[in-house]
Amino acid sequence: MVSSGKPVWAALSGGVDSATAAALLIRQGLRVEAVFMELWDCGLVERKERPTCCSPQDMKDAIRVADHLGIPFRSVNLRKAFQERVIGEFVDSYLKGRTPNPCIRCNQWIKYGLLLELALAQGAQAMATGHYARISNGVSGGALRLLRGKDPTKDQSYFLFPLGQDQLKRVLWPLGEMSKAIVRELAKEWGLPVAQKRESQEVCFLAGGSYRGFVRDYMGPAACSPGKIKDEKGVELGTHKGVWGFTVGQRRGLGVPWREPLYVLEVLPQKAEIIVGPRQSTFSRGLLACNASWVAGEPPARGFSCQVQIRYRHKAAQAWVDLLGDSRFQVTFFKPQPSITPGQAAVLYKGEEVLGGGWIEEPLKEP
């Protein structure tokens, strides 16, 4: 339980959600201090035509919010860690034929990792963000539960699955019970200077650009690694300039004229090959996942039924999960699912509760 004594760090992004979250906590009588993360330096690659993640304007907006609320403001430079961990893994994953989710990694390693650790080390009792998710007390004093946000169109629990009990005990999500419309109304009512600010819908450091352009700019000449595009039978249909330009399920931009729409089925970096086929070939009966984490600290059983979400906008599908050792699991869906993508997260739900999840290694085709 938080109290009015020690401060709560409110992580401000410069947007309306984090600003409203901070304002709500102040109205609850808590002592709130604002913090802004400096994450990405556009000087690391040639991207002068586009703004960066956590841009100077975002910082100015965060400062304006803190001034309006009358709370202290600090910025924390986490650029080195962000580049080495989040950006590094992002680029490396595409080069290895995987499709990463940098938002989950940023939450896991940066926001609820380094930033939360810094907050606690400097005397904060908790950290608040503008995420749409909820935390519930466990039954009879058991483990805290991570739940979907009440607004299904804004629920962000998928991006938070790696969080464990130590983090949940020190995290506040004031917007979890609210809809985006109500948040906007409150921001306007309270005169927050970012009440009308447009919402970002993309990976932050891409800043309006494509991931292909980012990887190409980041890697330079090393990104050029041509190869072949083949069908499921191994027949060559075309060529490509690098496997990093493709992701499983992709339909547009293949550069292969065909009598019917083709989709990327596999990305094979070791052979520098892209395998394509018709939509029906994108379906898989299950998947293998690695680096499993469990919100409660341990899985519910060695085998169990649940709903599995394989990307952010995917409707969680009923499945059976079997544990494979300590950190891997196999998912068998009751109905085959399309475009199961290596590198994405497989998040396990029991109703609205997040049980845990892992990182997709490969889809399982029909035997």
**Cβ neighbourhood burial of 112 (10 Å; 0-12, 13-18, 19+):** buried
Q: Which CATH code, of 3.40.50.620, 3.30.360.10, 1.20.120.80, 3.40.50.720, is assigned to 8-206?
A: 3.40.50.620
The candidate with the shortest Cα–Cα distance to 329, out of 353, 293, 282, 276, is: 293
Q: Give the closest residue to 18 by CA, choosing from 53, 59, 51.
A: 59
pLDDT given at position 202: 65
pLDDT in tens, 192-206: 999 999 887 667 777
| Segment (H or E) for 186 | helix 180-189
Q: What is the pLDDT of residue 1?
A: 65
Q: Is 42 a catalytic residue?
A: no
Backbone angles phi, psi at 207, to 5 degrees: 45, 50
Cα distance between residue 269 and residue 92, in whole Å:
11
Closest CA to 116 of 203, 215, 214, 37: 37
Catalytic residue, from 103, 106, 224, 290: name it: 106
Per-residue pLDDT of the chain (367 residues; tens, 9 = 90+): 677 789 999 999 999 999 999 999 999 999 999 999 999 765 444 444 444 456 778 899 999 999 999 999 999 999 999 999 999 999 999 999 999 999 999 999 999 999 999 999 999 999 999 999 999 997 767 899 999 999 999 999 999 999 999 999 999 999 999 999 999 999 999 999 999 998 876 677 776 668 888 888 888 877 778 999 999 999 999 999 899 999 999 999 898 888 899 999 999 999 999 999 999 999 999 999 999 999 999 999 999 999 999 999 899 999 999 999 889 999 999 999 999 999 999 999 999 999 999 999 999 986 5
Query: Start-end ranges of CATH 3.40.50.620 in the chain?
Result: 8-206
Q: What is the side-by-side order of every strand in the sheet holding 126-128? A: 73-77, 32-38, 8-11, 126-128, 171-172
Residue 108 CA to residue 81 CA, distance in Å, equals 12
Residue where the block lists tokens 């109703």: 351
Topology of domain 224-277 in CATH is SH3 type barrels. (2.30.30)
d(CA 249, CA 276): 9
User: How far apart (Å, rounded) are the C-alpha atoms in residues 35 and 32?
Assistant: 10
Question: HSE of 31 in the Cβ direction (CA atoms, 13 Å)?
Answer: 8
Among residues 54, 204, 290, 306, the one annotated as catalytic is 204
Query: pLDDT tens digits, residue range 276-317?
Result: 999 999 999 999 999 999 999 999 999 999 999 999 989 999
pLDDT for the residue 207: 63
> Catalytic: 306?
no
Q: CA-to-CA distance for 261 and 268, rounded, in angstroms? A: 21
* Residue located via tokens 């009990």: 165
Paired tokens of 22: 């901070």
For 236, the 3-state DSSP assignment is strand
CB count within 10 Å of CB 189 equals 10
DSSP conformation letters of 7-67 = -EEEE--SSHHHHHHHHHHHHTT--EEEEEEE---GGGTT-TTSPPTT-HHHHHHHHHHHH
The CATH number of the structural domain formed by 283-364 is 2.40.30.10
Distance, CA of 9 to CA of 171 (rounded, Å): 10
What token pair was written down for 178? 């609210």
**pTM, rounded to two decimals:** 0.93
Which part of the chain is CATH 2.40.30.10? 283-364
**Three-class secondary structure of residue 124 per DSSP:** coil
Reading phi first (left if > 0) and then psi (alpha if -120 to 50, else beta), residue 175 is in alpha
> DSSP assignment, residue 343?
T
